[in-house]
């Protein structure tokens, strides 16, 4: 079995060494540094420049230790522990060395602690305190990066939309520059000048606006880097912390909220390092996304439609109205005429209650949590669903020797896994391969980035298989079996069809064949494609041909904070058979009626066969790939209920609008893309009259004079479902891949368009975070330099983007790394209705571009 093999590779015997630190005998794996050995055993060694996830550079010299038989003091962060070493961390010599370092660092440090945001959590403050300096032997004027003659210590260089730099406070540990480069692969920050006038600053002509820039502030040991969201707002000791999770990405990144109870307000988010998941790095969307909780734009009270206008109402009025209308519809047309759409960012309990309400109270199977995908096969038992259910461990990316990304712009979709991939490459020499219809930011570390023709996804995979067969990289019987299935495809033809050269296909095949431990990830290009079943069939063949799962992990990654939970709890029209059986057992029954997914529910609305719709936390008008289609469907409804944090295109046309709590306002559990269940605690009281999803469902159920069960009962039912092993094996036989030729192109529309998330945003809520909008506050057209030049477009030019069904005008943004003729537009901004360009039945959206003369 695949899982057994994995265990074997990770538990191989590790050589150890035994050393003595401060008289304590310590055994650690070979290769551990003296510093790590000490820290792991509760021995404190102070540091400034060391970071557990970066390479040691030995710059600050604070971590001196004395090692017997070595003449000089050694920096423990860069000294490997060896057998028999005797280390002293507390000798007079060590103390003297550290005091000297503190003295050196303080020479030109402004000591403006009372006005410094870092006060109370500053490494320099703490270590000065520890070493007890109360006076300075430095009798010169401190050097300052401020105007001549000024006595201020405020330097305040805004080096990015969110980050303010004070070079006077900087102690030059270089952690920010190193993290930016080593962990994030970004070069917008650097060190300039030399000696004691060295300064950290943004690269010439650039702003520090990369999607991980917030981490630089968090790891700064002093108050040199601060971000506008926290600056001068509150002293850290007045806040309390609450453990939480990221609600915008699917990794379940662990976070900590800093809140103040009297103001019922969250002040910032920092990481809560979990090496299995996030390594302590937060994408900016995770760090600044909390601001939506405090937003003054939050929906405050329930709204009901009276004479065509939404007016404020009490919860009771609103709930009565929902009960009344849903009952009318059920009585008239049957319960199957009511459908529901829940956001995959809701917690387990809300999602489960939602499904249970629909299936046990309304007796309808029309529930779904997916609003941003195209027409899908109705069947639950697909190769795609099998691929989605495969086990995946984020931490296993670290020591993979090959990381293979197929059909994904990982940085935008899975920033956390993107960082893991960089880590595998930079720290463990993994080779990265990216196969995508356009070049992505991962190009700089990729051993090979193969860009295939848009819409030839399955051919790219077939091509790799055929190259392996051609090069005799796989066993004869396998090769023969697959060749038969793929016949009459040939390597040259396939290469031509997908646009990847035969040589490149051979390199990819060889990498897969030679890999000893692989992480193979599919992303949105696959999951959102109309042809995802065909594509995943090809991937399944690939898996079988190379035996990928036997030497690693192959998965299609869940996209939202609780997509994993939604699948496990059966919040889709056709849950996996095991889930369905379990639900039947728990509930003592299961509706027999035909299930419909979001897309087919919308189609039924147009035919007036679905008349009532309950949307919770989702915004299909903004995110479903065919805006017109959704709007027409929703407008035909007899009754639409929408619950959300903010007014949206969908709440605007709803008959009842209910204010929903954010994830920070109640205790909830979320399942990340690994299937790991984690808890986010309530940090603040619900804002205004908003309520958590689960409570809303329960209140409606109560109107039906029924009950979904007490909290403990729901928890236990959820646990039973989570405990199910719902992983389905990938096919064990090769399958024919039906090569899909693109639908007829509409004349004149040639340039493929990809609609995706901005790297600083996710979904439809993050535009309510002021920090995140400071990075991007409206849609733009991302275009490669070649295409831009041909179309005579310059950075910032307004471009009319037209598809056969709609048009928008957005400014152009030229991305150097995009080399082929594709364009990208982010979908996170309500002011630009991007989905109006899309058609749900098309495999590829094509547009035409023209410059708008202003």
DSSP codes joined into one string, 309-339 = EEEE--HHHHHHHHHHHHHHHHHHH-GGGEE
- Specify which residues 367 forms β-bridges with: 340
Does 69 engage in binding with other proteins (CB under 8 A)? no
Alpha helices in 440-523 (DSSP H): 457-470, 476-486, 491-498, 502-514
- From the list 26, 45, 81, 105, which residue makes contact with other proteins (rule: CB under 8 A)? 105
Q: Which of 1, 13, 14, 71 binds other proteins (CB under 8 A)?
A: 71
Q: Return the residue of 165, 172, 538, 571 that touches other proteins, per CB under 8 A.
A: 172
Tell me which stretch binds other proteins (CB under 8 A): 111-119, 171-179, 243-251, 798-806. 171-179
How far is the CA of 137 from the CAs of 107, 209, 290, in angstroms?
9, 40, 45
Contact indicator for 757, 828 with CB cutoff of 8 Å: yes
DSSP 556-604: EPP-STTHHHHHHTT-SSS--HHHHHHHHHHHT----SPP--HHHHHHH
70 is a contact residue toward other proteins (CB under 8 A): no
Phi and psi angles of residue 448, each rounded to the nearest 5 degrees, phi first: -150, 130
**Minimum gap (Å) between residue 196 Cβ and other proteins:** 4
Per CB under 8 A, contacts with other proteins among 192-231 are 193-198
**Residue from 19, 54, 73, 425 that binds other proteins (CB under 8 A)?**
73
Residue 35 CB, nearest approach to other proteins (Å):
13
Q: How far is the CB of 51 from other proteins (least distance, A)?
A: 15
Closer Cβ to other proteins, 432 or 643, answer by number: 432
* Rounded Cα gap, residues 137 and 179, in angstroms: 34
Reported as type and span, the H/E element at residue 810 is: strand 807-814
> For residues 517-536, which are near other proteins according to CB under 8 A?
none
Using DSSP, state whether 225 is helix, strand or coil. Answer: strand
Smallest separation, CB 402 to other proteins (Å)? 17
Nearer to other proteins, 39 or 100 (CB): 100
- Burial grade of 530 (CB within 10 A; 0-12, 13-18, 19 or more): buried
Handedness of CA 541, 546, 550, 556 (dihedral sign): negative
Distance in angstroms (rounded) separating the CA atoms of residues 323 and 623: 28
Compose the 664-693 pattern: x for residues touching other proteins by CB under 8 A, - for all others: ------------------------------
CB 828 to other proteins: min, Å: 35
Nearer to other proteins, 426 or 848 (CB): 426
Alpha helices for 365-490 (secondary structure H)? 383-389, 410-413, 415-428, 457-470, 476-486
Candidates 14, 337, 49, 64; CA nearest to 174 is: 49
**Which one of 86-94, 98-106, 275-283, 488-496 is the stretch in contact with other proteins (CB under 8 A)?**
98-106
Of 62 and 557, CB closest to other proteins: 62
**108 or 250: whose CB is closer to other proteins?**
108
CB hemisphere CA count around 327 (13 angstroms):
11
What is the pairing mode between strands 518-522 and 552-556? parallel
Task: Characterise 317 by phi-psi region: left (phi > 0), alpha (psi -120 to 50), beta (else).
Answer: alpha
**Complete DSSP assignment for 715-742:** HHHHHHHHHS----PPPSS-----PPPP
Choice between 285 and 425, CB closer to other proteins: 425
Cα separation, 658 vs 302, in Å, equals 5
In the list 72, 584, 679, 738, the residue contacting other proteins (rule: CB under 8 A) is 72
Residues binding other proteins: what is the number (CB under 8 A)?
37
Q: For other proteins, give the closer residue by CB, 105 or 718.
A: 105
Q: Is residue 319 a contact partner of residue 346, using CB atoms and an 8 Å limit?
A: no
- Measured between alpha carbons, how far is 236 from 116 in angstroms, rounded to an integer? 11
Q: Which is nearer to other proteins, 303 or 507 (CB)?
A: 507
In 3D space, the residue among 170, 175, 161 whose CA is nearest the CA of residue 224 turns out to be 170
Cα–chain-centroid distance for residue 88?
Answer: 43
CB of residue 175 to other proteins, shortest distance in Å: 13
**C-alpha torsion angle, residues 490, 496, 501, 502 (rounded to 10):** 10
Which of 63, 125, 165, 174 is the binder for other proteins (CB under 8 A)?
174
- The least distance separating other proteins from the CB of residue 73, rounded to whole angstroms, comes to 6
Q: Which of 64, 433, 438, 829 binds other proteins (CB under 8 A)?
A: 64
Q: How far is the CB of 421 from other proteins (least distance, A)?
A: 19
Measured from the CB of residue 107, what is the shortest distance to other proteins in angstroms? 5
Minimum CB–partner distance for residue 797 and other proteins (Å): 33
Number of Cβ within 10 Å of residue 140's Cβ equals: 7
Q: Any residues with CB less than 8 A from the CB of 847 and at least 6 apart, and which?
A: 749, 751, 753, 801, 802, 803, 823, 837
Would you say 77 or 521 has its CB closer to other proteins? 77
Write each residue from 43 to 62 as x if it is in contact with other proteins (CB under 8 A), else as -, in one continuous string.
Answer: -------------xxxxxxx
Which residue number, 107 or 852, has a Cβ lying nearer to other proteins?
A: 107
Cis check for the bond before 488: say yes or no (omega within 30 of 0). yes
Q: Does 108 bind other proteins (CB under 8 A)?
A: yes
The neighbouring-strand residues paired with 812 are 781
User: Considering only residues 75, 319, 660, 818, which one is a binding residue for other proteins as defined by CB under 8 A?
Assistant: 75
User: Integer distance in angstroms from the first to the last C-alpha of the chain?
Assistant: 63
Which region, judged by CB under 8 A, interacts with other proteins, from 86-94, 190-198, 414-422, 637-645?
Answer: 190-198
Measured from the CB atom, is 117 or 186 closer to other proteins?
Answer: 186
Among 46, 97, 161, 617, contact with other proteins (rule: CB under 8 A): 97
Query: Which of 39, 78, 256, 443 touches other proteins by CB under 8 A?
Result: 78
For the bound state, the minimum distance from the C-beta of residue 193 to other proteins, rounded and expressed in Å, comes to 7
| Shortest separation between residue 134's beta carbon and other proteins, angstroms | 18
Residues between 115 and 154 that touch other proteins (CB under 8 A):
137-138, 140, 143
SS (H, E, C) 738-803: CCCCCCCCCCCCCEEEEEECCCCCCCCCHHHCHHHHHHCCCCCEEECHHHHHHCCCCCCCEEEEEC
Applying CB under 8 A, the residues found at the interface with other proteins are 56-62, 64, 71-73, 75, 78, 80, 97, 100-101, 103-105, 107-108, 137-138, 140, 143, 171-172, 174, 190-191, 193-198
């Amino acid at each position: 079995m695949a899982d057994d093999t994995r265990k074997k590779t990770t538990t191989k015997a590790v050589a150890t060494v035994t050393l003595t630190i401060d008289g304590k005998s310590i055994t650690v794996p070979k290769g551990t540094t003296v510093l790590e050995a000490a820290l792991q055993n509760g021995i404190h060694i102070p540091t400034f420049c060391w970071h557990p996830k970066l390479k040691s550079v030995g710059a600050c010299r604070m971590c001196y230790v004395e090692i017997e038989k070595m003449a000089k003091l050694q920096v423990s962060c860069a000294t490997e522990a060896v057998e028999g070493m005797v280390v002293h961390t507390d000798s007079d010599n060590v103390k003297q060395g550290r005091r000297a370092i503190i003295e050196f660092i303080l020479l030109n440090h402004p000591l403006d602690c009372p006005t410094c945001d870092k006060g109370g959590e500053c490494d320099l403050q703490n270590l000065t305190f520890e070493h007890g300096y109360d006076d300075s032997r430095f009798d010169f004027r401190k050097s300052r990066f401020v105007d001549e003659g000024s006595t201020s210590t405020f330097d305040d260089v805004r080096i990015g939309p969110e980050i303010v730099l004070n070079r006077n406070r900087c102690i030059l540990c270089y952690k920010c520059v190193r993290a930016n480069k080593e962990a994030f692969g970004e070069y917008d920050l650097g060190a300039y000048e030399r000696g004691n006038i060295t300064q950290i600053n943004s690269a010439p002509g650039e702003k520090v606006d990369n999607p991980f820039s917030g981490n630089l502030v968090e790891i700064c040991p002093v108050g040199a880097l601060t971000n506008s969201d926290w600056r001068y707002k509150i002293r850290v000791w007045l806040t309390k912390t609450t453990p939480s999770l990221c609600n915008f990405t699917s990794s379940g990144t662990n976070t900590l909220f800093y809140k103040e109870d009297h103001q019922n307000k969250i002040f910032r988010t920092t990481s809560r390092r979990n090496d299995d998941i996030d390594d302590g790095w937060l994408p900016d969307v995770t760090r600044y996304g909390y601001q939506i909780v405090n937003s003054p734009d939050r929906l405050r009270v329930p709204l009901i439609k009276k004479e065509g206008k939404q007016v404020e109402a009490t919860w009771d009025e609103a709930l009565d109205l929902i009960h009344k209308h849903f009952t009318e519809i059920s009585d008239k047309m049957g319960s199957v005429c009511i459908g529901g759409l829940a956001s995959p960012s809701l917690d387990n309990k809300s999602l489960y209650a939602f499904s249970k309400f629909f299936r046990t109270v309304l007796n309808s199977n029309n529930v779904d949590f997916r609003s941003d995908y195209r027409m899908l096969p109705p069947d639950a038992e697909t190769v795609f669903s099998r691929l989605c259910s495969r086990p995946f461990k984020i931490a296993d990316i670290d020591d993979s020797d090959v990381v293979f990304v197929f059909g994904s712009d990982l940085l935008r979709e899975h920033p956390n896994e993107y960082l893991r991939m960089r880590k595998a490459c930079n720290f463990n020499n993994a080779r990265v391969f990216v196969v995508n219809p356009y070049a992505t930011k991962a190009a700089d570390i990729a051993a090979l980035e193969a860009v295939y023709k848009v819409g030839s996804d399955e051919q790219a995979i077939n091509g790799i298989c055929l190259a392996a067969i051609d090069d005799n990289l796989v066993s004869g019987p396998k090769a023969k079996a697959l060749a038969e299935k793929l016949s009459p495809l040939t390597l040259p033809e396939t290469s031509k069809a997908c646009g990847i050269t035969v040589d490149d296909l051979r390199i990819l095949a060889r990498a897969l064949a030679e890999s000893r431990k692989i992480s193979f990830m599919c992303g949105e290009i696959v999951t959102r494609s109309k042809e995802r079943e065909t594509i995943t069939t090809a991937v399944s063949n690939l898996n079988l041909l190379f035996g990928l799962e036997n030497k690693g992990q192959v998965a299609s990654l869940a996209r939202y904070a609780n997509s994993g939970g939604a699948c496990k709890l059966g919040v889709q029209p056709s849950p996996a058979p095991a889930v369905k059986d379990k639900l039947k057992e728990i509930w003592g029954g299961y509706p027999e009626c035909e299930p419909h997914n979001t897309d087919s529910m919308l189609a039924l609305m147009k035919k007036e066969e679905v008349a009532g719709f309950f949307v919770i936390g989702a915004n299909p008008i903004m995110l479903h790939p065919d805006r017109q289609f959704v709007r027409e469907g929703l407008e035909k409804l007899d009754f639409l209920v929408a619950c959300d944090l903010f007014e949206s295109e969908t709440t605007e046309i709803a008959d009842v609008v209910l204010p929903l709590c954010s994830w920070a306002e109640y205790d909830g559990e979320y399942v990340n893309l690994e299937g790991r269940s984690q808890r986010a605690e309530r940090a603040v009281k619900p804002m205004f009259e908003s309520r958590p999803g689960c409570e809303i469902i329960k209140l409606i159920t109560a109107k039906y004079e029924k009950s979904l069960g007490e909290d403990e009962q729901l928890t236990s039912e959820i646990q039973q479902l989570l405990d199910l092993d719902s992983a389905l094996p990938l096919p064990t036989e090769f399958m024919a891949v039906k090569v899909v030729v693109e639908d007829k192109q509409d004349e004149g529309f040639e340039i493929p368009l990809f609609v995706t998330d901005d790297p600083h945003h996710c979904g439809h809520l993050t535009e309510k975070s002021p920090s995140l909008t400071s990075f991007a506050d409206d849609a733009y057209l991302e275009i490669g330099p070649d295409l831009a030049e041909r179309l005579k477009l310059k950075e910032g030019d307004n471009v009319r983007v037209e598809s056969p069904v709609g048009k928008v005008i957005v400014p152009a943004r030229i991305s150097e790394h995009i080399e082929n003729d594709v364009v990208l537009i982010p979908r996170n901004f309500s002011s630009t209705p991007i989905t109006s360009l899309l058609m749900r039945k098309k495999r590829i959206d094509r547009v035409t571009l023209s410059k708008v003369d202003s």
